[in-house]
Amino acid sequence: MPRYSYQSAPGLRIRTTHFAGSAEEFAQALAEDCRADYGTEPDVRVWDGPITEPPAATAR
């Protein structure tokens, strides 16, 4: 299962988890859950490598 680092919205902590799908699928799933979980507009960034590189996927 791939390992991803992600940030659901600016100012939130960057976290790491495993997700069975692609980086794009993970970003979309996070964006759908962001409003309920954090009460903020999603601006999801997902990395499949070092977070010093551009994100592998984004979603709003």
Query: For a pLDDT cut of 70, what percent of the chain falls above it?
Result: 90
Predicted TM-score (pTM) above 0.85: yes
Which class for 1: exposed (0-12), middle (13-18), buried (19 or more C-beta within 10 A)? Answer: exposed
What pLDDT does 39 receive? 67
Asked if residue 46 has pLDDT above 80, the reply is yes
